[in-house]
Amino acid sequence: MAANESTHHFITLLPNTIHSLTHSIALMADHQALLSSNNPIRFGIIGCADIARKLARAMSLAPGVTLYAIGSRSIDKAEKFASLIGVSGTDHEIIKLYGSYDQVLEDPCVDAVYLPLPTSLHIQWAVKAANKKKHVLLEKPAALNVAELDQILEACRSNGVQFMDGTMWLHHPRTIKMKDLISHSNKTFGQINFIYSTSTMSVSPEFSESNIRVKPDLDGLGALGDLGWYCIGALLWAKDYQLPTTVQAQDVTTNCTGVILSFTAAFHWDISSNNTAATIHCSFFSNTSMDLTISGSNATIHTNDFIIPYQEDSASFELSCGAMFVDLHIGWNAVPEEVSVDCELPQEALMVEEFSRLVRGVVYDGVQPNCKWPEISRKTQLVLDGVKRSIDSGCKLVQL
CA–CA dist 349, 385 (Å, integer): 29
Whole-number CA gyration radius for the chain: 24
Hey, what domains does the chain have and what are their CATH numbers?
41-167+350-367 (3.40.50.720), 170-349+379-399 (3.30.360.10)
Mean pLDDT to the nearest integer, 207-227:
95
The pLDDT tens digits for 232-270 are 999 999 999 999 999 999 999 999 999 999 999 999 999
Check if the beta carbon of residue 148 is closer than 8 Å to that of residue 354: no
CA distance 155 to 134: 11
Give the model's confidence band at 389: pLDDT under 50 very low, under 70 low, under 90 confident, else very high: very high
Q: What is the pLDDT of residue 93?
A: 57
How far does the chain reach from its first CA to its final CA, in angstroms? 61
Cα 332 to chain centroid, rounded: 36
Q: Is 70 exceeded by the pLDDT of residue 4?
A: no
Q: What are phi and psi of 190, to 5 degrees?
A: 85, -165
- Length of the chain, please? 400
Within the chain, how many helices (H) and strands (E) appear?
A: 12, 15
CB atoms within 10 A of CB 366: 8
Lowest mean per-residue pLDDT among 24-28, 77-81, 189-193: 24-28
Q: CA-based angle 257:258:260, to the nearest 5? A: 125
* Residue 353 pLDDT > 80: yes
Cα–Cα dist 129/126, whole Å: 5
What is the predicted pLDDT for the residue at 38?
Answer: 76
Q: Which helix (H) or strand (E) holds 30?
A: helix 3-38
pLDDT higher than 50, residue 386: yes
Give me the catalytic one of 54, 96, 128, 140.
Answer: 140
Longest dimension (CA), the chain: 85
140 annotated active-site: yes
Q: What percent of the chain has pLDDT over 70?
A: 89
Strands (E), the chain: 41-46, 65-71, 96-98, 112-115, 135-138, 163-165, 192-200, 246-254, 260-268, 277-283, 292-296, 299-303, 314-321, 337-342, 398-399
